[in-house]
Amino acid sequence: MKLENCSFSGYKIYPSRGRVFIRGDSKTFRFLSSKTNSLFDQAKNPRKIAWTRLYRKAHRKGIKEEASKKRTRRAVKYNRAVVGVSWEAINARRNEKTDVRAAARAEAVTKAKAKRKEEAAKKKAERANAPNTAQKISKQQARGASMKPKPTSR
């Protein structure tokens, strides 16, 4: 016994029941009753007619609650160390008071400034001590312009 499905309502059609409609492009439509056939002829959308299978599926009717509710997996957060810093150090830094952190930052800034000053002074001293062997040349000469010949007479 072969059961067909109604093209409009989606219900089963038992043998010797229903109607068959074959469209001009040779596509066959099977209808459970004259009611479904009539609604199809009127170009009604089965998703908007409440008793059809398509409507029930589109509007989630009759689905068991266990099957309909999907379990969402929560992302588990791990506390891990970063390369070069242990987790304890990170936690200690996080739990510091703001004034302690501000003082540490100010100290680091003053250290950096002192280091920069020291390097600048070192560079200046090197420049002063180095003998000036290079001839003074203009920018054009540095770019490759030929030098003027010195005048021999006026």
Q: Is 8 exposed, middle or buried (0-12, 13-18, 19+ CB in 10 A)?
A: buried
Rounded Cα distance, 81 and 88, in Å: 8
* pLDDT score of 69: 66
pTM above 0.85? no
pLDDT tens track for 36-63 = 999 999 999 999 999 999 999 999 888 7
